[in-house]
Amino acid sequence: MKTPRRSFLQQLAFGLMAGAVLSQPLVARADVLDNIHKNGVVRIAIPQDFPPFGSLGPDLKLRGYDIDMANLVGQELGVKVELIPVTSTNRIPYLTTGKADLVISSLGKNAERAKVIDFSAPYVPFVKSVFGPEDAKIAGPADLTGKVVGVTRGSTEDLSLTKLAPAGTIIKRYEDNNATISSYLTGQVQLVTLGNIVANSVNAMTKLRRLSAKFPVEDTPCYIGVAKGEPALLAKMNEIVAKAKADGRLNEFSLRWLQSPLPKNL
Amino acid sequence: MAYQFDFPAVFDYTDALVTGAGVTLGLTLVGALLGGALGTLGGVVRAWRIHPLDWAFRLYVEVIRNTPFLVQLLFIFFGLPSLGVQINEWQASILTMVVNLGAYTTEIIRAGIEATPRGQIEAAQSLAMNRWQTFRHVVLRPSLQRVWPALSSQVIIVMLGSAVCSQIATEDLTFAANFIQSRNFRAFETYLVVTFLYFLLALLTRQLLNWVGRRFVAPRRPCSPEVR
């Protein structure tokens, strides 16, 4: 059987078309901000299982700090918002493969992540602190000497606390967050190290023993993630965060979802 | 991708491992002594049906032998403070081990005592031994001889079970393992080393109990089966 041979010109045409198709995403992604305006929609990766940042409410609609933040960004850009639920492991791949324009998903910053994506200015604090009874006089790490402090073993706050605490501190390391919380509620430890947001929800759920914040051991706020090489979009995000911070909208979110005002130093 | 083994990463924490092994051994020794004493009392009470303690021990044995060690531990550590009983993790660990071992040894020793032939007690009485002498030489000591291997095994079971005490931040061998693993992320190496250490501890405990058995429990003058 004879196969018809393609002429040189035909082959050239195929090659050019293939090249055009392959280069298409690159061309399209050259300026995400332009594309957002052209399509009239911004695709934002958000959490769906991490209250109070993003979770399903009783009406099965997404709600939380990050959801409010995503809507605020859409409003400022003057386009519709398409929410893309992601998990903490796939949120960065969504951004790097162009499946999302922005990541607003309680995203913390570290050196490894900074190699693959860019970060806006922080839009929400995520502080881990030492907590204790209202009347405990603990102003800083030095006051921990001789005190019994509970913490969840192997967590980032465990590593930070271990570094900060003076030699005489008695650190009790529990298996998980629940055991750490129980150790404090039942009086097995004098102080405990937890995320501020976790402590707030514990205070909201039980009156057994109040958790009152003493001093922060770790401050890793969350940022809006932007793909590398998008200076226009990054600048726009920084502008939106600064504006929302100045006009009190971020403070409003913070009061609504974290039950505390936005810290001044964010 | 081939896994690169890194055992020195574990041996950086030798201090933690040695301390942890010491704590596990200490918990076991104290737990075995007090638990053994409690179990002996319980065994006698149960075998001779001494009222009303008999009923109390029966309930105690049934409750402890039919609930998990971990739940008993969590109840004592996190539950009792609600009743105003505030004890630290050491006390909670030892108390749980004593209570747990006491229940099992009660049954083991009861079995040993109930196997005492009636004729031996009668023989003791005919030799004008008083009640205490009869109990000590004719009932208890031969009973312990009969059940010594079972008692030894139970002590080792409780020692291995004490691994769960790490859940309430008792810094035993398992706590050391989890701690090291959360710092160097070398799960395979860490747990392999700790498995080996537990094995050594169990062998050591068995040797110790065998020695105690030969020295204090076995007959003073061993006699051959023909004579017995």
Average the pLDDT over A155-171 and give the result. 90
Residues 80-109 of B with CB under 8 A from A: 81-82, 86, 88-89
Tell me which chain A residues have a C-beta less than 8 angstroms from the C-beta of B179. Answer: 153, 173
Interface of B with A in 151-190 (CB under 8 A): 166-169, 175, 178-179, 181-183
Confidence of residue A258 (pLDDT cuts 50, 70, 90): confident
pLDDT at residue B37 is higher than 70: yes
Mutation target to probe the A interface, by most A beta carbons within 10 A, among B78, B165, B180, B186 is: B78
In the chain, the amino acid numbered A64 is G
Q: Determine the average pLDDT of the residues in A235-252.
A: 94
Distance CA A91, CA A58 (A): 25
Contact (CB<8Å) B178/A153: yes
- pLDDT of residue A104 exceeding 70, the answer is yes
Return the top range by mean pLDDT from A169-183, B23-37, B207-221. B23-37
For chain A, what percent of residues have pLDDT higher than 90? 49
Domain boundaries, chain B: 8-217
Q: Does the domain spanning B8-217 belong to CATH 1.10.3720.10?
A: yes
pLDDT at A265 over 80: no
The DSSP result for B93-148, as a single string, is HHHHHHHHHHHHHHHHHHHHHHTS-HHHHHHHHHTT--HHHIIIIIIIHHHHHHHH
Q: What is the mean pLDDT of residues A149-153?
A: 92
Cβ-based neighbour number of residue A134 at 10 Å? 8
Per-domain boundaries in chain A: 28-126+221-258, 127-219
- Does the beta-carbon distance from B169 to A187 stay under 8 Å? no
Confidence of residue A6 (pLDDT cuts 50, 70, 90): low
- Per-residue pLDDT for B184 more than 90? no
Interface test with B, best of A149, A153, A158, A176 (most B CBs within 10 A): A153
On the question of pLDDT at A166 being above 50, the answer is yes
User: Could you give phi then psi for residue A216, rounded to 5 degrees?
Assistant: -80, 140
CATH 3.40.190.10 applies to domain A127-219:
yes
How many of the other CB atoms lie within 10 Å of CB of A259?
A: 14
Q: Note the pLDDT of residue B4.
A: 82
Q: Is residue B217 helix, strand or coil?
A: helix
Least confidently predicted of A18-32, B115-129, B143-157:
A18-32
Residue B146 reports pLDDT greater than 80: yes
At residue B196, does pLDDT exceed 90?
yes
Are the CB atoms for A252 and A260 separated by under 8 Å?
no
Distance CA A218, CA A196 (A): 10
> How confident is the prediction for chain B on average, in pLDDT?
91
Given this model, what pLDDT does residue B95 score?
A: 96
Which one, of A107, A65, A127, A66, lies nearest residue A265 by Cα? A127
pTM of the model: 0.69
Minimal Cβ distance to A188: which of B77, B167, B178 = B77
DSSP tag of A25: H
Residue A260, chain B, CB below 8 Å: the answer is no
The answer to whether A172 contacts B169, with C-beta atoms less than 8 Å apart, is yes
Q: Encode pLDDT of A187-232 as tens digits.
A: 999 999 998 888 887 888 788 899 999 999 988 889 999 999 999 9
Confidence of residue B84 (pLDDT cuts 50, 70, 90): confident
In this prediction, residues B83-89 reach a mean pLDDT of 89
Q: Is the pLDDT of residue B204 over 60?
A: yes
Quote the pLDDT of residue B117: 93
Q: What is the pLDDT of residue A20?
A: 56
More confident residue, A56 or A121: A121
Could A172 and B88 be called an inter-chain contact, meaning their C-beta atoms sit closer than 8 Å? no
What ipTM was predicted for this assembly? 0.72
Q: Which residue has the tokens 């859940």?
A: B167
Sequence-ordered list of residues with C-beta below 8 angstroms from that of B199, at least 6 positions apart, any chain: none
Bigger pLDDT: A7 or B224?
A: A7
Instruction: Tell me the average pLDDT across A30-41.
Output: 89
Domain A28-126+221-258 and domain A127-219, same fold? Reply is: yes
Task: Report the alpha-carbon distance of residue A225 to residue A241 in Å, rounded.
Answer: 12
Are B179 and A174 inside 8 Å of each other by CB? no
| Contact between chains at A173 and B169 (C-beta distance less than 8 A) | yes
Touching A: B residues 198-227, CB under 8 Å: none
Residues of B in contact with A186 (CB under 8 A): 77-78, 81-82
The secondary element (H helix, E strand) that includes residue A111 is helix A111-116
Given pLDDT bands bounded at 50, 70 and 90, which one contains residue B223?
low
Which CATH architecture is the domain A28-126+221-258 placed in? 3-Layer(aba) Sandwich (3.40)
- The model's confidence at residue A28, banded by pLDDT at 50, 70 and 90, is very low
pLDDT category at A48 given cuts 50, 70, 90 is: confident
Q: Is the pLDDT of residue A46 over 80?
A: yes
A-B C-beta contacts closer than 8 Å = 39
